[in-house]
Amino acid sequence: MKITGIEYRTISIPFIPAIQEHRGMEYPTTLIWVHTDEGLTGLGESNSLNSDITDQADSIAEKYVGKNLWDIDLASESFAFQCAFYDLAGQALGVPAHKLIGQKYRDSVELAYWSPPMPAEATAAEAERAADMGFRVHKLKARKVNIVETARLIEKACGPDFEIRVDPNTEFGDLETGLRLAQELLPYNIEVYEDPIRFEDLSWYRQMREAVEVPVARHLGAPPGILENIRAEAVDAVNMGGNVAGIRKSAAVAEAADLPIWVQIFAFGSCVASTFAAHMACTLPNCTMPIDELPHIRVDDLSGGSMDLSNGAIHLSDAPGLGISLDMDAVKRYQIR
């Protein structure tokens, strides 16, 4: 099966109103169609926030067009084209994409809800919306100025069982501040602290783990960094990303240390990237925490209902490839180039 052509459309789908108001920016992505001489087409997606993959169209065509899909090491390709290639391979073989990645450990992959830094009242309103939609974990880009009040209002709106994933992107600063805020947040249902404090001194993370009952996590990109943090006793869990080959290696390192993980592979993608991330995640035995893929924070996921996102999870079918199709009317509506 030879690749005969590659098609691109860059889209910009608005965030839902509450997030659009406080994030205040567009986040374009580029949809990719990989066509073959057997009449099959695979779907991929590329992040176009900082650069547009279409600027590299000629060199990409030179690399792939005319090549036999079965001569490509699918697991080692970049995420955007890997997604399309696994979609094609699954269609050709009549199996879902996850069947080509590894053993499936779960039929559905839970997602975390997400909010940027917002006033506490606005975040609590979003948490209530998330809970009503069936999400059980809300990831906050937390800030020390209002995280305690935000947690209080979320519990008031959603009840004590709704979990808060606290991700300050190290904004809590030093160990002393991190411990103080953790103490103030003790009454609330914090799922995990992700990158709560600066990490130039990993002993701070070890000390925070020793002092705080809530798990402490790092967002790490490759096995060497994961191994370094494990040896430093700095983590209880890991958030990771990458392509199929990389993320399976990273997950295996974490699994050897008996650490749970979640993945953030694309985050702000449409149904295409989010569904492929779910196909990957369902094959990782220790990926037991809700993943950071966020098609639900846009006004449209482009799936036209073909992606089964309900009760806070993507439910995977046994349909060949990704198992989804694009709503082309929606694609045209949000296309910017």
CA distance 303 to 295: 10
Contact 331, 45 (CB under 8 A): no
pLDDT in tens, 78-129: 999 999 999 999 999 999 999 999 999 999 999 999 999 999 999 999 999 9
Give pLDDT, residue 22.
85
pLDDT in tens, 126-162: 999 999 999 999 999 999 999 999 999 999 999 999 9
Residues with Cβ within 8 Å of residue 68, at least 6 apart in sequence: 1, 2, 3
CA distance 8 to 45: 9
pTM of the predicted model over 0.85 = yes
Across the chain, mean pLDDT equals 96
CA distance 22 to 312: 23
Q: Which spans in the chain are helix H?
A: 17-23, 57-64, 79-93, 120-132, 147-158, 175-184, 202-211, 223-231, 244-256, 271-281, 328-334
Paired strand residues for 32: 8, 44
pLDDT in tens, 238-291: 999 999 999 999 999 999 999 999 999 999 999 999 999 999 999 999 999 999
pLDDT above 70 covers a percentage of the chain that reads 100
Give pLDDT, residue 52.
80
Residue 202 Cα distances to 58, 165, 174, 234, angstroms: 44, 21, 11, 6
Residue in this structure with the two tokens 């997602």, named with its chain if needed: 111
Residue 234 Cα distances to 77, 82, 140, 277, angstroms: 31, 32, 21, 26
Higher per-residue confidence, 77 vs 49:
77
DSSP string spanning 281-296? HTT-TT--S-B---GG
CA distance 87 to 82: 8
Report residue 268 as tokens: 């702000």
Beta carbons within 10 angstroms of residue 284's beta carbon: 26
Contact 74, 88 (CB under 8 A): no
Beta carbons within 10 angstroms of residue 259's beta carbon: 19
Contact 159, 184 (CB under 8 A): no
Residues recorded for the chain:
337
State the helix-helix crossing angle for 175-184 and 202-211, rounded to 10 degrees: 20
